[in-house]
């Protein structure tokens, strides 16, 4: 009997494990964290008419389903090597595992945002603030500043606000060689317009979509007031950047500066604002090191968040028996990752000869589910995701026939 090893116990990995086990494929899930669920337990946001997405509940349901189906979930296990001979050999911190099929569902990692004073206690990634608040029920502080405007910072700012954490402002990082477009008000305005679906008022959602369609981000950056606008009672300061984080043994304040539309600071506009925590939000990138170790070929796509292993629409890579799903394939929502996990499971079940006469039909249904989920997902991390994936899969179809 074929055996599947899933590396990563997040939404994609657990969904794939449950779907594969339902069809009779023995499954082992490996994850380096101490508990399954990945980033899901910390997620808490609205999904339009579907109501609130409570990641902890979804994670618990998936874990329970996996256990009921006999999936062997092993946490606290680090994978450091992968090699294919006649089967896949997975080298881990607790020994060697072998499998006919491997699914890489390793997720994503946060992009650091270096700032003057960022090593002070009380400075953390936006994801750390999310986990502290939503998983451990510990406030990251009483009054904080979020640095960086992207889907991650906007979504988690809402979560912190709902949990009673005071967010004094969301600002830009100060321009430096590592900040890139994150310090550019025009680029950030474009991102904000693309996130208009998260706005609490209908007129804001409609206005944001109209402004995005008319490509008004440049005008918005030039006319945006320095005091900012409030969203969920949080000031969104598109024309303000953090020069430094201040304090002796911990965060005590930040130095802010007004910036021009091109992101350059306005001399004489510096001021100090009190804060006891700072959350840095540089976005996410695919966590794909294991794919590189395995020997996968990569493609670069800014719309997907960076370098991703080259793969087809059925989630297969060019390496025999190796599949991918979730944020390792491109940064998207947990709902899309779950749909991709189910698609990868359908593909592996079919490859293993366990799907019966309707195996191809199940794969096509799973592909349509991924498309539908992506199209209707409220949270979109990057513009052009659908187009980027279409191009990726077209390239896959053109090269797989040549054995690439």
Kind of pairing between the strands at 108-110 and 284-286: antiparallel
Asked if residue 168 lies in contact with residue 275, where contact means CB atoms within 8 angstroms, the answer is yes
pLDDT reported for residue 203? 41
Helices (H) and strands (E) in the chain, counts: 11, 22
pLDDT reported for residue 233? 84
Token digits of residue 2 = 């074929």
pLDDT reported for residue 219? 67
Q: Is 4-109+284-401's fold the same as 113-279's?
A: yes
Beta strands in 177-233 (DSSP E): 229-231
Look up the pTM and report it: 0.89
CA atoms of 13 and 124, how far apart (whole Å): 27
CATH number for the segment(s) 4-109+284-401: 3.50.50.60
Q: Where in the chain are the domains? A: 4-109+284-401, 113-279
Task: State the residue for tokens 């293993």.
Answer: 352
pLDDT by residue for the chain (404 residues), tens digit each?
689 999 999 999 999 999 999 999 999 999 999 999 988 888 876 665 666 778 888 999 999 999 999 999 999 999 999 999 999 999 999 999 999 999 999 999 999 889 999 999 999 999 999 999 988 899 999 999 999 988 888 889 988 998 899 999 999 999 888 787 888 888 877 777 666 555 544 544 555 555 455 566 666 667 677 777 877 789 989 899 999 999 999 999 999 999 998 889 999 999 999 999 999 999 899 999 999 999 999 999 999 999 999 999 999 999 999 999 999 999 998 999 999 999 999 999 999 999 888 889 999 999 999 999 998 877 777 778 999 999 999 999 877 654 44
184-187-193 Cα angle (round to 5): 135
Domain 113-279 matching CATH 3.50.50.60: the answer reads yes
CA atoms of 28 and 30, how far apart (whole Å): 7
User: In this structure, how many other beta carbons lie within 10 angstroms of the beta carbon of residue 364?
Assistant: 13
203-204-208 Cα angle (round to 5): 115
Task: Please report, for residues 149, 304, 341, the alpha-carbon distance to residue 14 in angstroms, rounded to integers and kept in the order given.
Answer: 30, 22, 8
State the burial class of residue 109 (Cβ atoms within 10 Å of its Cβ: 0-12, 13-18, 19+): middle
């Amino acid at each position: 009997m074929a055996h599947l090893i899933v590396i990563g116990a997040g939404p994609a990995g657990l969904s794939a494990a449950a779907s594969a086990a339902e069809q009779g494929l023995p499954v082992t899930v490996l994850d380096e964290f101490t508990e399954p669920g990945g980033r899901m337990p910390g997620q808490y946001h609205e999904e339009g008419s579907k109501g609130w997405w409570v990641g902890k509940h979804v994670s618990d349901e998936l874990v329970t389903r996996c256990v009921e189906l006999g999936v062997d979930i092993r946490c606290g296990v680090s994978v450091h090597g992968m090699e294919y001979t006649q089967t896949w050999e997975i080298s881990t911190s607790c020994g060697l595992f072998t499998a006919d099929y491997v699914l890489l569902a390793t997720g994503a990692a946060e992009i650091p945002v270096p700032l003057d004073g960022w090593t002070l206690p009380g400075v953390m990634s936006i994801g750390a603030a999310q986990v502290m608040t939503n998983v451990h029920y510990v406030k990251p502080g009483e009054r904080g500043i979020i640095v960086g405007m992207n889907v991650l910072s906007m979504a988690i700012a809402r979560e912190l606000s709902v949990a009673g954490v005071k967010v004094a402002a969301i600002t830009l990082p100060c321009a430096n060689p590592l900040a890139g477009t994150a310090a550019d008000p025009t680029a950030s305005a474009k991102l904000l317009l693309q996130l208009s679906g998260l706005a609490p008022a209908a007129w804001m959602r409609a206005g944001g979509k109209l402004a995005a369609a008319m490509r008004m981000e440049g005008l918005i950056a030039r006319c945006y007031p320095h005091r900012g606008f409030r969203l969920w009672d949080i000031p969104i300061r598109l024309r303000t950047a953090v020069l430094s984080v201040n304090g002796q043994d911990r965060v005590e304040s930040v130095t802010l500066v007004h910036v021009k539309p091109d992101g350059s600071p306005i001399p004489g506009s510096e001021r100090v604002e009190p804060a006891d925590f700072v959350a840095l939000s540089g976005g996410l990138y695919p966590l794909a090191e294991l794919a590189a170790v395995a020997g996968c070929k990569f493609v670069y796509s800014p719309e997907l968040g960076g370098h991703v292993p080259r793969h087809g629409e059925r989630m297969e890579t060019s390496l025999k028996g190796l599949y991918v799903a979730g944020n390792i394939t491109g940064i998207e929502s947990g709902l899309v990752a779950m749909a991709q996990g189910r698609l990868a499971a359908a593909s592996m079940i079919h490859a293993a000869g366990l799907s019966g006469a309707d195996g191809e039909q199940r794969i096509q249904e799973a592909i349509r589910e991924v498309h539908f989920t992506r199209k209707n997902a409220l949270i979109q991390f990057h513009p052009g995701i659908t187009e980027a994936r279409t191009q990726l899969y077209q390239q896959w179809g053109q090269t797989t026939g040549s054995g690439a």
